[in-house]
Amino acid sequence: MREFGRLRAAGLSIPAEVRARHVRATNDGYATGPDPGERIPEFALPDQSGAIRTLNDLAGPNGLFLVFHRSADW
């Protein structure tokens, strides 16, 4: 993981083998959260404008597609 970071920080090309090892290490013991049929936990979080949002106001008539992602910063 650190080798991957070091190469990327230095702007060097990342060998496929290092990339694959990085992907394996960062996904070790992965967990995927609630299964189909289960409820997601309640949440109330600020959006990019600072407004607090919950499932109730985010969902459309047929629901919500909720994407967890790494970061918008790096």
**Residues near other proteins (CB under 8 A):** 1, 5, 23, 25-43, 45-50, 53, 55-56, 58-74
Closest distance to other proteins from the beta carbon of 68 (Å): 4
Least spacing, CB of residue 51 vs other proteins, in Å: 8
C-alpha closest to that of 42 among 61, 18, 58: 58
Q: Which is nearer to other proteins, 15 or 66 (CB)?
A: 66
Residue-level length of the chain: 74
**Amino acid in position 3:** E
Q: Which residues, in sequence order, are bridge partners of residue 53?
A: 45
